[in-house]
Every structure is written in structure tokens, then in C-alpha cells.
Homo-oligomer: A and B are copies of this chain.
Amino acid sequence: MSAPMTNSSQDIQIYEIKRMDLKGSTIINGFPGVGLVSSIVANYLVNTLNLEQIGLMDSTLFPTVSLIRKSEPHHPVRIYAGTTPGKPADNIVVFISEFQPPQSIVKPIAETLIDWAQDQWCSLIMCPEGLVIEKEEGAQPEDEKSVRVYGVGSTHRAREYIIEPNVLPFSEGVITGVAGILLNEGKRRNFDVISLLAEAQQDYPDARAAAKIIEIIDRLMLHTRLDAKPLYREAERIEAQIRAVQSKAVVDSKTQNQFSGMYG
């Protein structure tokens, strides 16, 4: 482990594109983790609920890339928000990130996110995560029913009212990345942060695990009574799209570096 750099949260900025009253709203953290479960969930919610981009997170330390979608350029980290049919009084906010932040900026990102959540008087940060499970060799592929979902909360309040009545408790383990720091900071600040962890494959985007978490989020917060079948198909479509961006990114990355040594 080489000497790490100091990256304060001053290196990360949030820019608002459209002002919206977010008091009491829930934030979904879509920074990628195990099985890209968080990314699939976040994209699904943005698409299904027709959420609108209200801001973006940026930093000199983020990748130098523009993502073109529907003929418009997009920053790699974006903030979407909107209402849900089942609970029109409350807003839902979704952070989408097209890249997994390197270790050195995970803390500044998480701290900027929770600072902003508190500034906006949001009431909850929800982190969908995959939980690696080791399978016996030769085991049969499991059906969706068998995907278990665990939960952990940063506060007594979150554990008592959200985790315990709804999912299995995640009692012992380790959560890394943005979600891990959000949980720690939520505990320190007495701010509600929840992570839902669905059993997932760590080696590829896992649409089934994501769909399982979407069902629970719907039941807990959205009350939209999503039909299960399209949910799984949509989750699979997003999985495919994410794979495509990844392979594209690799090609472009090669291209980019081709001449960079010119006088270097």
C-alpha cells in the first residue's frame, strides 16, 4: 500500500441544474458495487419513474469522459429526482455513477453526498448492494425466490422501523466503498442510512439480485405495485447496457492513450 494522497471533500462538487424541494426525500446511492446491483437499481428507478436530472457531482479526479445518451452529453455522475405514483408527496433522489471511484476518492465522495443530503433535509439514504455468496461447485442455478436480502442501518431508528420488520438482519460482515462510508458517517451524524444486500454474483452484473432489491424498495417506499416480470426484463436490459458501456470504455481508453507519450 503506497502512501495515500490527501483528498479532501473540497475536491468534489455538487452542481444543481434544477432546484427542487427535497425535504423528507429518500436518496438511492447508485455508485457501483458488487454485481453492479446498485447501478442496475438506480438506472431502473430513473427509467421507470421518469426521474429528471436535477444536478451532477463533478471533480478533477473523475474520468474525463462524456456519455452521450439520446443525443445529449452527460457527466459521469448525475443526480435525478421526481415523485413516485404511490407516494406523490415525497420525492425520490437517485445518484447514478458510470464508474467505480478509485479507493482514494471514495471518502470524499461519500462525505460530499451525505453533506448534501443533510443540506437538502433529505430523510434517508438507501444503498442497494450485492453480497458475495460462495456456491458449491455443480450446484443447480437457483431460482429468484432463493435470493435472500439482508439489511443494515446506521441508526437505532433505521434498524427498528425499516430493517427489522422487512428483511433479514446483516449482523456480521464488512461493507466496503461508498456504501460503507455512508453507513459509518450516518452512524456518527445520527443520520438514517440503510444498506440492502442481495445475494449476488461478484463477477458480472447481477440483474436478479437487483430486481429483488427493487421489489423491496417498491414495497417499503414507492407503493407502486410493480409487476415482477417487466421488472426482471428491464433489469436484464440495463445489465446489458452497462456491459456495453464497459467494453466501449475500454476501447476508448486505449485510443486515448495512443499519442499521450508524444513528447512525454
Binding site for B on A (CB under 8 A): 1-8, 11, 15, 17, 32-34, 36, 56, 58, 60-76, 98-108, 110, 132, 152-154, 159, 163, 169-181, 183-184, 186-188, 202-203, 245-246, 248-253, 255-256, 258-264
Nearest opposing residue in chain B for A181, CB measure: B64
Known A-B contacts A188-B15, A263-B76, A263-B99; A65 and B255 likewise in contact (beta carbons under 8 Å): no
List residues of chain B with CB within 8 A of the CB of A170: 68, 71
Which of B36, B66, B99, B180 contacts A184, CB < 8 Å?
A: B66
- CB-nearest residue of chain B to A67: B174
A75 CA to B182 CA, complexed, in Å: 11
Q: How far is it, in angstroms, between the C-alpha of A245 and the C-alpha of B36 when the chains are bound?
A: 23
CB distance from A264 to the nearest CB of B (A): 3
Contacts known (A173-B68, A175-B68); A183 close to B262, Cβ less than 8 A: no
B107 near A60 (CB under 8 angstroms)?
yes
Instruction: Return the chain B residue nearest A260 by Cβ.
Output: B100
Known A60-B108, A184-B73, A262-B63; contact A103-B3, beta-carbon cutoff 8 A? yes
Checking B65, B72, B177 against A256 with a beta-carbon cut-off of 8 angstroms, the contacting residue is B177
Q: Once the chains bind, are A253 and B263 in contact (CB under 8 Å)?
A: yes
Residue contact B73 to A251, C-beta cutoff 8 Å: no
